[in-house]
Structure 1
């Protein structure tokens, strides 16, 4: 038996290969809340609030008891030869779902993610496989169709964050296992669905770079920067900036894609930096001047490289546009359109 909440709430009886889905919204909310709090007593008042919110019926305790009775009839009986097991038990304070020999897909997911993280340091390829196994347990948004009760809503948010963190770990170990090509498309979808999650942008930049798509990697940074500025009014964080600087420092992708691209190492604050007026101290040690010159040269190189990338992209865009603009001639001399 497995109680499933990574998607719509349902019960899978592996003995008969039967899937049981509660029909009513109240039944789904009740089962969802009990699974979330499995093996814990859930007070009657909390279950009433979960099912009816601010508008409970006049005899809410009796109405809840009726829903519990329907749920008990829905749950399968123990198999032949198995000890009698009461899935939903009554206590003086409320109700408890006693899992007994059963499990939940959420517990399986957390177990596989923990196992994947244990394997990450030694065998990233195996870690990626285990993490994918855990992520395949998801059939949709957690606790889908269970309403907006406090228990299910809070758990759904926690599970979704766990899913996103597991995805970040998956792509980290996939990059270490040199599986860049197979995750690029997935990351492109994720940055569209989660445009303000910087980690996915950074991982997409790395994957694109290692696939030899350097200009696209830098373009990903630029799009992320504009999104963050538009929606949050902030600049990219140090991890995303560090990835961009690391790519800029290495003009050509590593041929075999095995050497990692690390974030830019932190630089110490410049000695004798400008004060709030923007003026520099009159006297600066010779070492500071050399460091300043080196920094200016580095930044100048970055600016020139960005200008070059922009020119190349503009020229490519112009060539492609010319091919598809009505009345223009293509490479064969024939009119297009």
Structure 2
């Protein structure tokens, strides 16, 4: 996907995946030939307009094991990168400027897919309440910009790692908003969204919001038992990997389904409360004896769970005392 670029330079930069440079004069994509030059370019693009000191760049490229002549090696990599980005007829105006303290990429000469992603993601989130169909379309355009993990193959230096984590967090937020928008669009089949959300919970097994959205989609599709099973699956995974119980939003979603209340889209600002129920809600069956039985079952499960937790704590305390007694007898 193409993205907007400033008129004062012929290059665009892509960092939502492997780092690449797009030459708009020829239409070709250029990849820096070596890993160090990719990391250097990525750091300069991420911090465009900011002077990065030589020490900071050396740390980004080599970490705790820099070469003996690190400053000279850095200068050589900068020179190669300059040649790669030098446009004919520019009169020696380097995109990478030398500063007494280090180097910087001139801010007016950077257009990145990350900037476009930020813009589209914000536009889609803003459109969610008034026009969920448009929001979904814009958010899918934003996500289509991704070609792999952000700043792929750019090491784990502080600059690139922090930016990659920040972009990944925004990608997940954008995905959440996309599926919330999908649940609001009239005529969209929640069962189809559920299949996509199943894959997301598999890819991100400790991300609670995807479980919340999946439970909502299944509930709207009339698959209440499956939705409750998703909660239990999420609970087991969170306990085994993070040692925590599901948060209030996910618990609230489970309680809503047990009561068979209308399945509004998950609300990140409130603990699992429904918000603006869509047309699919009217198709859900009314509260029934089966739902009452499920509610009673859920209450009994919660009681037994508390009992098990009490026994577990007692067992741990007993084990601690036994260990202490054995230690004092040695």
The 1-side partners of 2:124 and 2:68 are apart by: 50
Per-residue deviation at 1:12? 1.2
Could you list the runs of 5+ residues in structure 2 that have no partner in the other structure?
A: 1-10, 275-290, 301-330
Could you list the runs of 5+ residues in structure 1 that have no partner in the other structure?
A: 267-297, 308-337
Change (3 A) 1:305 1:241: closer
Post-superposition Cα deviations, 1:139-160, rounded to whole Å, max 9, x if no partner, equal 1111111112111111111111
Change (3 A) 1:44 1:305: closer
Following superposition of structure 1 onto structure 2, how do residues 238-249 of structure 1 map, counting pairs within 5 Å?
Answer: 238-249=248-259
Change (3 A) 1:68 1:265: closer
Change (3 A) 1:169 1:85: farther
The 1-side partners of 2:91 and 2:127 are apart by: 38
Change (3 A) 1:70 1:90: same
Following superposition of structure 1 onto structure 2, how do residues 76-225 of structure 1 map, counting pairs within 5 Å?
Answer: 76-77=86-87, 85-178=93-186, 179=188, 180-225=190-235
The 2-side partners of 1:235 and 1:299 are apart by: 24
1:26 pairs, out of 36, 39, 49, with 36
Question: What is aligned with 1:288?
Answer: none
Q: Is the 8 A contact 1:119 1:126 kept in 2?
A: yes
Following superposition of structure 1 onto structure 2, how do residues 22-61 of structure 1 map, counting pairs within 5 Å?
Answer: 22-61=32-71
Question: What is aligned with 1:15?
Answer: 25
Per-residue deviation at 1:14? 2.7
TM-score by length of 1: 0.73
User: Does residue 1:260 correspond to 2:264, yes or no?
Assistant: yes
- Alpha-carbon RMSD across the aligned residues, in angstroms, is 2.5
Q: Is the 8 A contact 2:132 2:184 kept in 1?
A: yes
Q: Which has the higher helix share?
A: 2
The 2-side partners of 1:57 and 1:250 are apart by: 64
The 2-side partners of 1:196 and 1:13 are apart by: 40
TM-score by length of 2: 0.75
Q: Could you say which structure has the larger radius of gyration?
A: 1
Post-superposition Cα deviations, 1:76-128, rounded to whole Å, max 9, x if no partner, equal 516x7x89752111111111111424401111111111111111111011011
User: Does residue 1:303 correspond to 2:296, yes or no?
Assistant: yes
Q: Is the 8 A contact 2:214 2:227 kept in 1?
A: yes
Q: Is the 8 A contact 1:11 1:20 kept in 2?
A: yes
Question: What is aligned with 2:279?
Answer: none
